[in-house]
A and B are shown apart, each in its own frame.
Chain A
Amino acid sequence: MLPKFSHVRPSSLRQAVQQLASSGSHVHAGGTDLLGCLRDGVFGAEKIVSITGIGELRGINSREDGAVRIGALTTLSEVATSPLIAQNYALLAQAAAAAASPQLRNQGTIGGNLCQRPRCWYFRGDFQCLRKGGDTCFAINGENEFHCVFGGSRCYIVHPSDTAPALVALDARAHIRGPLGMRVVPLGSFFVLPALDLARENVLRSGEIITHISLPPLAPGSISSYRKVRARGSWDFALAGLALALKLTGRRVDWSRVVLSGVAPIPWRSSETEKVLLGRDLNPRTLREAADAATRGAEPLSQNGYKVELVRGIVEESLRAIMESHPETPSERT
């Protein structure tokens, strides 16, 4: 049973921002993560500011410059089934479809998916952990099967979002409205590591709301995919996932983005893997080296060493699938 709070549903962005100015207020978009957190006492709320009545925050449309705008309140279902997204950013459609369950995708929004709180069972459970203001990260000596192998320090959460790594791979930007106005942050710099700030997972500040996401056009002929591995067939967060975007000539990689989910407190871009791939042909050796690069620097905890294997596995598998579906680069034969 939820504790008490007040609920306002402003009809304009301006009102919403104003409502959020008071302390103890929280944004309600789809509400799926917020109500879960309130029920579990992860944090409290005096006031829920629902932005669901703000029409301008919905919808997917293409802009003249070739970019695509996705309103923050667009549901994951809408993202997953939008022909515009499917045609241009297959990766994002796949990631949205892989999230949660059909009902949650009908309710959960793209903005909310980026801002959801970690699923660490100590954070969500009745444990006064470091991220909640306590003095211990229970994962370090505890049940850390699902925790991070990259980017952890003091706190070892993983970022739960599937769409976040996809958006990072697509060089998307978050458009943010707050009490001081509007700002734009590339998704690649939107998320915050525990080393920088223990209490938040992203750069959003008091009273700020994501209004929409913009996606630059991908170079023609680019391919992208999202591969998610989970312990259960659906309704489960990633043990690890791979958001991959590539531009190929034959099998030669001209450009790539490699972003992992489920392995770090933020969507984990592997620049090293991108470096290995750049200018090289996809062949068994490149695949192996790319997989090695993707796991370099991993620091597993006592129970999550499998994630290193898993990252290796999905990088190799995804690249192999692309390799096999593309003709050999002509120059390779010389």
Chain B
Amino acid sequence: MKQTEISSERNSSTDAQNLEPWTNPTVVGKPLPRVDGYERVSGSAIYPADLILPDMLHAAILRCPHPHAIVKNLNTEAARKSPGVRAIVSSADPEGKLVIPYPWWVPEGPPVLLFDQHCRYQGEEVAALAADTPYQAYDALRLMKVEYEELSHLLHAQDALKPGQPLLHNTGNLVRRPDTYQRGDLAKGFGEADVLVEETYETSCEIHATVETHVAVARWEGEQLTVWVPTQAIYEEQKSLAATLRLPVSSVRVISQYVGGSFGCKAELSKHTLIAALLARKTRRPVKLALSREESFLCAGNRPPNVMCLKAGAKKDGSLTALEFTNLGAVGAYADWADAAGWAAGSYACPNIRTQDTEVYINAGKARAFRGPGAAQSAWALEQMIDMLADKIGMDPVEFRLKNVPATHPRTGEPYTSIELRECLLKGAEAFGWTKARVARASSSDPVKRGVGVASCRWITEGGPPTTVIVTLFPDGSATLNMAAADQGTGTKTIMAMVVAEELGIPLQKIHVEHADTGTTQYGKSGGGSHSVMVYAPAVRAAAADVKRQLLEIAAGELKRPAIELSLKDGKIVPVREPGQPKNLSELKDLTRREQIAGIGHPPPEPKGRLIASFGAQFAEVEVNVHTGEIRVIRLLACHDSGRVMNPLTHESQIFGGMVMGIGFALTEQRVLDDHQTGRMVNANWHDYKIPTAKDVPFDQLCLTIDPKDAECNSAGAKGVGEIGTVPTAPAIANAVYHATGIRVTQAPISPMQMLALLAARREAR
């Protein structure tokens, strides 16, 4: 997802209120447990996979086992006769030609047919069926007979534009014209440099691997379709489903109250959701379609692999003079983003820069947005490059970064509403004991080498309209918050309920959150780009303020005082001059007569001419056993500027979670394709695709924060936190590995296998 420099349309909101951020909040900023915590720990939360509807069928999808093939013949006869089978859809049906729209952030791409006879990746959908039980569905699937013509396949971005390679689409293998950005004079910059470094970095394809696989439950009532699907983006899915099925938008209802992890992979319409809807229509029965773990590895998104060539120069005083960053990324078989270079143009103050992003198709599952898309790959390269430069001029890596912290956004020149990157580096380094840790080295005879590393990060976030939120207050002092936002574990529900509690002075327990249902909530931006708090907190606050305004007006009428002489405290009306005589809401007759007060809120537009970004620095300590190649992360410290911390508990969860994901990206995670033979993925399971376990994370994880008291970014004073936590972790670990061993590992992941091979190569070179 290209989020660096996008500027989405900014609707002006007439009734948006310009509230100042709270100065002394009593609820916001407290480490409160989640409002839906009980449901999540008791097992009573109902995720879409848990839904059991009367008469419900279970569907399964037949997928192409080859990375590139033509379906020559499909025989579904035996499957059709298999016990329990109620319906089959395939390319033989008119529905097979339906075209799935790309999500809004992918402006164009080759058409994605529901069942394309030209299969361009392993796992591409060939047919699907619904049966009475999941066992019957899979039994029938085994009876489907397909004749494939296997085509030669393309697996590496580096080969995609060479002559003689298979072409994935009529338009060729180039996704879009390479995106180039330039400022200053590169040659001049390199000329001015005292030191130059050049290096190529590679990242591996990382799979989201959410513990809940993708699931859809579809039910038709007449021409009204309801779909339960875990998603960050109910309105995106609604719009896409309606367009595909040629239904009025109002005829499609998407519900997503519990999401079992997403990280970007559940934010666009997936084929399986459409398939569930089609099978449900064919059978007039509800249909559940849950992808298997293997399917989720093959065709539910990934972080694309990147090859990044960098050249950089710096002066002896540590100032960057020039940076050239060329990236080649493989989006998979259909259009998406695999950018990385462009991010680097906005990271440090460097006068001469040229970046280029080239994205190509390969015969593998399509990429999807993945927590810090592009930024994480970019940081892997750039943050190691910065360390190489610092090393070369003999400067401390923290100091080097401090030298190059930008005052404004280096690409656009726009100032940030707040930027505490410098403080993040300084405070983090101090708390980590950086200077001391940098010098203390293990004895040379000890095979376990210890090292520390640092990396910094930045994430631009946009809040603002369009989004509509409703807060309803009842005379008994309870309230309902109605908003579109899903909560994929980020804590959005809890934080927004806290905003209502803060604004209306009512306890959290009396606030019910109704959310993530296009049938009952108003349009709201999807969760993504780390902007949920920035979009929704100001909107919720505005809605609550609207309630408060109406309430005080009612009270003013009844108490015969001007509204400005009344305040709302602890759910009671308190006259400012006689604070000892509060009035319960239930005593307000007019309120009781009205039964409820509804307030509407929208997020005000973003501040003009200003950018909003979060910043951070992370520090890692590792041990590398040079006899075995084993790498242990023994300490991680994060110091982040995400604006106001709405809830320290969920904030810490976000940062820690990002760091753990970064450990996987740095050390273990890698999609492995059977390179020279079948082109199939050999590790489409959780044993062979290794995400971190409890034994891969350090006990010593610390999260520090810096609140810039940003009054400009929005009325909550909060910036994004969802993605940034994972961006610097992997390069910080790589830098620590270098510090420990003197070996620069440019290719992620730094597995023991790779580490041993590099250690052996160095031994031989000596």
User: Taking beta carbons and an 8 Å cutoff, which residues of A are in contact with B?
Assistant: 1-4, 101, 119, 121-122, 125-127, 138, 141-143, 145, 229, 231-236, 239, 303-306, 309-310, 312-314, 316-317
Give the residue among A119, A138, A232, A313 with the most B Cβ atoms within 10 A: A232
CB pair A138 B677 closer than 8 Å: yes
What are the 10 A-B residue pairs with the smallest beta carbon separation, nearest first? A233-B695, A313-B627, A1-B138, A306-B756, A233-B696, A121-B682, A234-B695, A232-B690, A309-B756, A313-B628
Instruction: For B677, give its contact among A1, A4, A121, A141 (CB under 8 Å).
Output: A141
CB pair A317 B628 closer than 8 Å: yes
CB pair B627 A125 closer than 8 Å: no
User: Which residues of chain B are near A122, meaning CB under 8 Å?
Assistant: 674, 682
CB pair B695 A310 closer than 8 Å: no
Instruction: For A142, give its contact among B677, B694, B695 (CB under 8 Å).
Output: B677
Decide yes or no whether B757 CB sits under 8 A from chain A: yes
The CA-CA distance from A121 to B688 in the complex, in Å, is: 8
**Known: A1-B134, A143-B674. Is A231-B753 also a contact (CB below 8 A)?**
yes
Instruction: For A234, give its contact among B694, B752, B753 (CB under 8 Å).
Output: B694
User: Which residues of chain A are near B673, meaning CB under 8 Å?
Assistant: 143
User: Which residues of chain A are near B754, meaning CB under 8 Å?
Assistant: 306
B 610-646 binary contact with A (CB < 8 Å = 1; else 0): 0000000000000001111110000000000000000
The CA-CA distance from A47 to B115 in the complex, in Å, is: 37
CB pair B674 A138 closer than 8 Å: yes
User: Which residues of chain A are near B680, meaning CB under 8 Å?
Assistant: 125-127
The CA-CA distance from A2 to B629 in the complex, in Å, is: 38
Instruction: For B668, give its contact among A127, A232, A305, A312 (CB under 8 Å).
Output: A232
**Known: A1-B135, A125-B682, A232-B693. Is A145-B627 also a contact (CB below 8 A)?**
no
CB pair A317 B447 closer than 8 Å: yes
Decide yes or no whether B139 CB sits under 8 A from chain A: yes
Nearest Cβ in chain A — how far from B405, in angstroms? Answer: 35
Q: Can you give 6 A-B contacts (C-beta < 8 A)? A: A1-B137, A121-B688, A127-B680, A236-B687, A313-B627, A317-B627
CB pair B693 A233 closer than 8 Å: yes
Instruction: For A314, give its contact among B139, B628, B678, B696 (CB under 8 Å).
Output: B628
The CA-CA distance from A303 to B674 in the complex, in Å, is: 13
Decide yes or no whether B72 CB sits under 8 A from chain A: no
User: Which residues of chain B are near A141, meaning CB under 8 Å?
Assistant: 676-677
Nearest Cβ in chain B — how far from A50, in angstroms? Answer: 19
The CA-CA distance from A309 to B684 in the complex, in Å, is: 28
Nearest Cβ in chain B — how far from A127, in angstroms? Answer: 7
Decide yes or no whether B751 CB sits under 8 A from chain A: yes
CB pair B753 A145 closer than 8 Å: yes
The CA-CA distance from A233 to B695 in the complex, in Å, is: 5
Chain A residue at minimal CB-CB distance from B690: A232
Nearest Cβ in chain A — how far from B62, in angstroms? Answer: 13
Main secondary structure, interface of A, reads loop
Nearest Cβ in chain A — how far from B68, in angstroms? Answer: 16
- A1-B134, A119-B687, A235-B693 known, 7 other contacts, Cβ within 8 Å: A121-B672, A229-B629, A231-B751, A234-B693, A236-B690, A310-B756, A313-B447
**Known: A233-B695, A313-B628. Is A142-B752 also a contact (CB below 8 A)?**
no
User: Which residues of chain A are near B138, meaning CB under 8 Å?
Assistant: 1, 3
User: Which residues of chain A are near B684, meaning CB under 8 Å?
Assistant: 125
User: Which residues of chain A are near B687, meaning CB under 8 Å?
Assistant: 119, 235-236
Instruction: For B674, give its contact among A142, A229, A233 (CB under 8 Å).
Output: A142
B 642-670 binary contact with A (CB < 8 Å = 1; else 0): 00000000000000000000000000100
User: Which residues of chain B are near A145, meaning CB under 8 Å?
Assistant: 672, 753
The CA-CA distance from A163 to B135 in the complex, in Å, is: 35
User: Which residues of chain B are near A1, meaning CB under 8 Å?
Assistant: 134-135, 137-139
CB pair A305 B757 closer than 8 Å: yes
Nearest Cβ in chain A — how far from B469, in angstroms? Answer: 42
Give the residue among B65, B139, B752, B757 with the most A Cβ atoms within 10 A: B752
The CA-CA distance from A306 to B668 in the complex, in Å, is: 16
**Known: A138-B678, A317-B627. Is A239-B753 also a contact (CB below 8 A)?**
yes
Nearest Cβ in chain A — how far from B717, in angstroms? Answer: 39
CB pair B628 A3 closer than 8 Å: no
**Known: A1-B134, A119-B687. Is A306-B692 also a contact (CB below 8 A)?**
no
User: Which residues of chain B are near A229, meaning CB under 8 Å?
Assistant: 628-630, 752
**Known: A1-B134, A127-B678, A310-B752. Is A232-B139 also a contact (CB below 8 A)?**
no
Nearest Cβ in chain A — how far from B566, in angstroms? Answer: 59
CB pair A121 B683 closer than 8 Å: yes
User: Which residues of chain B are near A314, meaning CB under 8 Å?
Assistant: 627-628
User: Which residues of chain B are near A304, meaning CB under 8 Å?
Assistant: 753
User: Which residues of chain A are near B757, meaning CB under 8 Å?
Assistant: 305-306, 309
Nearest Cβ in chain A — how far from B383, in angstroms? Answer: 24
B 115-139 binary contact with A (CB < 8 Å = 1; else 0): 0000000000000000000110111
Instruction: For A231, give its contact among B625, B627, B668 (CB under 8 Å).
Output: B668
**Known: A1-B135, A306-B753, A306-B757. Is A316-B695 also a contact (CB below 8 A)?**
no
Decide yes or no whether B188 CB sits under 8 A from chain A: no
Nearest Cβ in chain B — how far from A38, in angstroms? Answer: 12
Give the residue among B626, B673, B693 with the most A Cβ atoms within 10 A: B693
The CA-CA distance from A306 to B757 in the complex, in Å, is: 5
CB pair B756 A126 closer than 8 Å: no
Decide yes or no whether B675 CB sits under 8 A from chain A: yes
CB pair B675 A142 closer than 8 Å: yes
User: Which residues of chain A are near B759, meaning CB under 8 Å?
Assistant: 309
Nearest Cβ in chain B — how far from A141, in angstroms? Answer: 5
